[in-house]
Amino acid sequence: MKRAAGVKFLLIGDDKQLPPVEDAKVEDYFYHPAVKYLCNNNRNILTVMKRFNPELKKHLNNVAKVDIRKFPFKETQINIAYTHKTRKAVNKKWIDRLKTADALHLPMIEGDEKHGQDIYIC
């Protein structure tokens, strides 16, 4: 695509965020050969925080050591899941809670048990 379109790519992301939810095990996406190719081996690191408050930044610098007891659990319809298993469980819980009797059922794609699940359109 890069060669055919003749475009330059600028990929933007946070190398300290949680890894993608996928099956592939990639050590460091920012140094992956495909990413380096797309970006012509260029990499810039932004050092000035602009999007969230400094207190939150303290926690984000070392996610593994965050004391989750400081953040009370609040159940919401918007969630972030680290695994497909968790995502599917949370989705099912909310689907079961919110679907109506006349909801249109869209079954999971056959053979996609690991990632897929039934959904309902209300």
In this predicted structure, what is the pLDDT of residue 62?
Answer: 78
In this predicted structure, what is the pLDDT of residue 95?
Answer: 93
Q: Whole-model pTM?
A: 0.44
| CB of 35 closer than 8 Å to CB of 8 | no
Residue 53 in tokens: 């408050």
The DSSP code sequence of 12-78 is ---TTSPPPSSS---S-GGG-HHHHHHTTT------S--SS-HHHHHHHTTGGG--GGGS-----S-
In this predicted structure, what is the pLDDT of residue 5?
Answer: 79
Residue spans of the domains in the chain: they are 1-73, 75-122
In this predicted structure, what is the pLDDT of residue 19?
Answer: 64
In this predicted structure, what is the pLDDT of residue 97?
Answer: 93
pLDDT in tens, the chain (122 residues): 778 878 888 877 776 666 666 667 777 777 888 888 888 888 887 777 677 777 777 777 777 888 878 877 788 888 888 788 889 999 999 999 999 999 999 999 999 888 899 999 98
**Maximum C-alpha span of the chain:** 54
